Amino acid sequence: MENDTICAISTPIGTGGISIVRMSGSNALAIAFKIFSSKNVSQESIKPRYFYLGNIHTADVNEKCMMVYFKAPYSYTGEDLVEFQCHGGVLVTQKVLQSLIESGARIAQGGEFTKRAFVNGKLSLDEAEGVIDVINAESESELKASYGLLKGNLHKEVEKLQNIITDILSEINVTFDFPENDDEEVTSADVLEKLTRAQKTLDHIIKTSTTGLKLKTGTKVVIVGKPNVGKSSVMNAMLGTDRAIVTSIQGTTRDVLEETYIYKGVKFNLIDTAGLHDSNDLVESIGINKAKEILKNADIVLFVVDGSQELDNFDKDIIKLLNDKKVIVVVNKCDLKQKINSSILPHAEHMECSALENKGITEIKDKIYNMVIDEKVLSQNVIITNIRHAEALSKSNEIILRVITDLQAGANLELVSLNLQSAWETLGLITGVSGTEEIIANIFSKFCVGK
Ligand SMILES: Nc1nc2c(ncn2[C@@H]2O[C@H](COP(=O)(O)OP(=O)(O)OP(=O)(O)O)[C@@H](O)[C@H]2O)c(=O)[nH]1
Ligand SMILES: [Mg+2]
């Protein structure tokens, strides 16, 4: 049943100052007053949006707490909603939750509060995704983009595009339904002009996804090189911590090490790997194979060489693996007398550094940042950070481009109208005005319980 009363602990499980237990549904208030009492208030006299001090009294619990009530439809879910602020302990909050379940509520599924908000028209699907993105944001840029999504920036743009399509569709319908009325007749040229403008907006939004998607997933930066060139030292210098073990012994790093860093508010995933060479050591060989695998999915490769030595065959073998990659050649150990002066890889950037003396490290981070981030995009209102949105936008863009080509080739407006309907529906997948229950369930399954 969709509107049974659900409850959950909305704060993280653990000890803290306060925990919040939340309940939503038509029986929320009645259930609350089965366990909560206060000399200041009763179920009949309670005012919405006021905090009341009282007691939750059950067989195991004698909990002094605060209660607040939001009356439907003026609540997060659009339903009657009650929240208890209890002492922040694991057992006490579980006992309060248990009492609510024994009094007639049922435990909420992950994201069920927000799903109800969506079903009750409080949020569109993309705005609901903004909620989870705000919760999960790890960098300032991701948080800013998530707030934009939650505020409805994308929603508004999608609606504007859908409205243009709706207008064109109704004009075409009028033309077909009242062919005798010349004043109302829409021409292919009118449609073409409106669609071309819409397509430009769409294109502009889609272009933000190159930078936007990276804000959320993080850019995968993989450090490779032969043993002892200073890969782990470069990683530590970039992170500003001694994350990886560094020794003068070849083959120190045997496994893949991954760590996140934030640079200028953007997230990067830095991956250190085992030195690539011919090894007879079983464990090291496994590490080397893993490194080659990881390399395939790298967004950017830092190919570290030791500037104090001539390149050897191991370096040259690695170069063969880098053909189709975005590479920065990091010539490390620049504090020593240098033996490498010329360019090593024609298609790559070359940077000098000394991991030991922390020289040239910020410049490497800057170079990586500039290779993936378009700063103009970061200041925009709409930034596409979600692959689902990017796909729906690209698909509708393809349809609109096809319609434009058809119109230019003299296609009739009836055919155009069918395709435009499909573009409208594809855009609607973003906000949830079109789409299936399966898509919706999949989105909310990624939420935590209590949200
Ligand atoms: N002089 C100098 N030595 C460095 C520099 N960077 C690293 N080293 C030294 O080079 C040696 C190897 O450093 P690592 O960072 O462990 O090298 P690696 O490439 O990770 O080595 P493996 O894990 O064995 O593949 C250590 O003795 C480091 O102190 C540098 O910039 N200058
Ligand atoms: Mg290492």
Beta bridge partners of 75: none
- Residue 165 pLDDT > 50, yes or no? yes
Confidence of residue 172 (pLDDT cuts 50, 70, 90): confident
Q: Is the CB of 333 under 6 A from ligand 1?
A: yes
Averaged pLDDT for residues 390-396: 97
Averaged pLDDT for residues 161-174: 91
pLDDT at 281: 81
Residues with CB under 5 A from ligand 2 (ion): 231-232, 252-253
- Residue 175 pLDDT > 80, yes or no? no
Both structure tokens of 304: 């570290």
Averaged pLDDT for residues 150-170: 96
Compute the distance between CA of residue 234 and CA of residue 237 in angstroms, rounded to an integer. 5
Q: Is the CB of 289 under 6 A from ligand 1?
A: no
- Three-state SS string over the chain comes to CCCCCEEEECCCCCCEEEEEEEEECCCHHHHHHHHEEECCECCCCCCCCCEEEEEEECCCCEEEEEEEEECCCCCCCCCCEEEEEEEECHHHHHHHHHHHHHCCCEECCCCHHHHHHHHCCCCCHHHHHHHHHHHHCCCHHHHHHHHHHHHCHHHHHHHHHHHHHHHHHHHHHHHHHCCCCHHHCCCHHHHHHHHHHHHHHHHHHHHHHHHHHHHHHCEEEEEECCCCCCHHHHHHHHHCCCCCCCCCCCCCCCCCEEEEEEECCEEEEEEECCCCCCCCCHHHHHHHHHHHHHHHCCCEEEEEEECCCCCCHHHHHHHHCCCCCCEEEEEECCCCCCCCCCCCCCCCEEEECECCCCECHHHHHHHHHHHHCCHHHHCCCCCCCCHHHHHHHHHHHHHHHHHHHHHHCCCCHHHHHHHHHHHHHHHHHHHCCCCCHHHHHHHHCCCCCCC
pLDDT at 1: 44
Q: Which of 122-136, 176-190, 365-379, 424-438 is least confident?
A: 176-190
Is 184 in contact with 368 (CB distance < 8 Å)? no
Distance between Cα 255 and ligand 2 center (Å): 9
Averaged pLDDT for residues 197-219: 96
Averaged pLDDT for residues 206-220: 96
pLDDT at 180: 64
Give, using CA atoms, the residue closest to atom 8 of ligand 1.
Answer: 230
- Delineate the domains of the chain, giving CATH numbers in brackets: 6-123 (3.30.1360.120), 128-214+386-432 (1.20.120.430), 218-376 (3.40.50.300)
Distance between Cα 227 and ligand 2 center (Å): 7
Give, using CA atoms, the residue closest to atom 11 of ligand 1.
Answer: 248
Distance between Cα 71 and ligand 1 center (Å): 64
As a residue count, the chain comes to 451
- Give the residue from 383, 333, 394, 309 showing the smallest Cα distance to 143: 383
- For β-strands 51-57 and 36-37, DSSP reports them as antiparallel
At 341-371, the pLDDT tens digits run: 788 888 899 999 999 999 999 999 999 999 9
Q: Is the CB of 231 under 6 A from ligand 1?
A: yes
Give, using CA atoms, the residue closest to atom 27 of ligand 1.
Answer: 248
Distance between Cα 223 and ligand 2 center (Å): 10
Closest atom of ligand 1 to CA, residue 336: 1
At 267-301, the pLDDT tens digits run: 999 999 998 888 888 888 888 888 889 999 999 99
Confidence of residue 438 (pLDDT cuts 50, 70, 90): confident
Averaged pLDDT for residues 129-140: 95
Residue to mutate (ligand 1; options 222, 232, 233, 242; most atoms within 8 A of CB): 233
* Residue with tokens 């240098």, as numbered in its chain: 338
Give, using CA atoms, the residue closest to atom 26 of ligand 1.
Answer: 248
